[in-house]
Amino acid sequence: MNASPRSTVFSGAQPSGQLTLGNYLGAMRTWVQMQDDYDCIFCVVDLHALTVRQDPAQLRAHIFELTALYLACGIDPARSTIFLQSHVPAHAELAWLLATFTQMGELERMTQFKDKSQQHKHNINAGLFTYPILMAADILLYHTHRVPVGEDQKQHLELARDIAIRFNGLYGPVFRVPEPLIARDGVARVKDLQNPTKKMSKSAESELARVMLLDAPEAILKKFKKAVTDALGVIRYDEEGQPGVANLLNIWCAATGQSREQALAHFSHHQYGKLKVETAEAVNAILQPIRTRFQELNADREMLQTVLASGAEQARRRADAVMEKVLDALGLPVARSRF
Ligand code: ATP
Ligand code: LTN
């Protein structure tokens, strides 16, 4: 028997709407695979979703939907911890403490903050600004070794590392410094189908821009058929010169498990139409089973509540043990009633 404890993985997604194909290929698919080798913790980061104005009834529905999607994608509550961020108060608590170790200038440099403040000009709230500190708290609370995320989160992870290193430098080795794990093979940043220089985002203006995990096959086909390519009419892999075609090739490879060389051998003497239709078919083949499982799981609210309750209990226990160390290091007497 292997007695060494497994390394810890932590990651999360926001219940800010349905997940896109980008979320799945860039993050969630890796999470599912990591369950075999790591002690995994997957969080529904509902507090983060509040940085954009949400309708309460819709947010509640999205929270349960995202939990059902985690399960439908293959996250297994018997092997991994699945929980809701707001169920573990230590996240918000540690975020406050870490804010005092984060400089304004560091937050001002975050590209997600710059993008989101452009998108939500009427609600540039302080939470949007301090979002990366809450994310650092999420990760550092579990002595996380690896954080599987899409490329867009790399900058936030570097900040989490910097905060941990700074804190440890002042108070001794309280936090583990986490390592990012960014997907390879062109899916770390799946591109918007209408504007292939941007990442595919849940919040893109055009519905045609993003493929959702629960889209019907006809919708998926339509979106790929209308995907923006170029006027060159040749299938080559050139991210700069032909970003639309490169994105379709990357998606086809990720969905079929074939290499880029195999993709080029298969498509190079054909027209864009074939690439679009076959990419849609390959995507549909991987999403079909997820859709079917999702319908069943999402209908069972009682089961979802039970999964989240048991996840919260496991997470709370682990997070509180780390919080105790943090409070102690800072000189804050730990309340006797707390632990
Ligand atoms: P929004 O698009 O509304 O800003 P988001 O989808 O980026 O939200 P999350 O739900 O928190 O935000 O993302 C969950 C995971 O999906 C993160 O690890 C993120 O890096 C990854 N991800 C998001 N979009 C893409 C993409 N287009 N390609 C690859 N990975 C992505
Ligand atoms: N900011 C992330 C979501 C997120 C996250 C985390 C990811 C919040 N906390 C901790 C990994 C680890 C995003 O993808 N938008």
Does 229 reside within a domain? yes
Shared domain for 56 and 151, answered yes or no, is yes
- Asked whether residue 264 falls in the same domain as residue 320, the answer is no
Are residues 219 and 321 both part of a single domain?
A: no
Specify the CATH number for the domain of residue 144: 3.40.50.620
Do residues 288 and 306 share a domain? no
Query: Do 115 and 258 belong to one domain?
Result: no
Atom of ligand 1 nearest to the CA of 203: 3
Pocket test for ligand 2, best of 88, 133, 153, 181 (most atoms within 8 A of CB): 153
* Closest to 42 in 3D by CA, of 65, 3, 14, 4: 14
Domain that holds residue 217: 207-296
pLDDT score, position 337: 78
| Domain assignment present for 202 | no
Q: How are strands ordered across the β-sheet holding 8-13?
A: 81-84, 39-44, 8-13, 146-149, 179-182
Specify if 198 maps to a domain.
Answer: no
- Under 8 Å CB-to-CB from 32, ≥6 apart: which residues? 73, 74, 75
Report the distance separating Cα 130 and Cα 108, nearest Å: 10
Task: Give 240's contacts (C-beta < 8 A, 6+ positions apart).
Answer: none
Q: 275 and 315, same structural domain?
A: no
Is there a domain that residue 243 lies in? yes
Q: Let me know if 222 is a catalytic residue.
A: no
- Give the closest residue to 170 by CA, choosing from 91, 106, 103, 101: 101
- Give domain status of residue 199, yes or no: no
Residues 92 and 110 in one domain: yes
Would you say residue 99 lies in a domain? yes
pLDDT digit string, tens, across residues 236-252: 999 999 999 999 999 99
Measured by CA distance, the residue closest to atom 16 of ligand 1 is 23
The confidence band for 2, taking pLDDT boundaries of 50, 70 and 90, is low
Contacts of 61 by beta carbon, 8 Å cutoff, 6+ apart: none
CATH number of the domain within which 238 lies: 1.10.240.10
Residues 266 and 132 in one domain: no
pTM summary value: 0.95
| Gap from CA of 151 to ligand 1 centroid (Å) | 9
In this predicted model, what pLDDT tens digit does every residue of 59-97 receive, in sequence order?
999 999 999 999 999 999 999 999 999 999 999 999 999
Q: Let me know whether 166 and 234 are in one domain.
A: no
Active site (annotated) includes residue 199 = yes
pLDDT digits (tens, 9 = 90+) for 187-240: 889 999 999 999 999 878 899 999 999 999 999 999 999 999 999 999 999 999
Both 175 and 42 in a single domain?
yes
Inside any domain, residue 195: no
Cα of 315 vs centre of ligand 1, distance in Å, is: 23
Total tally of structural domains belonging to the chain: 2
Q: Could you tell me if 41 and 173 lie in one domain?
A: yes
Check whether residue 266 and residue 308 sit in a common domain. no
pLDDT tens column, 269-322: 999 999 999 999 999 999 999 999 999 999 999 999 999 999 999 999 999 999
**Domain-embedded: residue 176:** yes
Percent residues over pLDDT 90 in the chain: 93
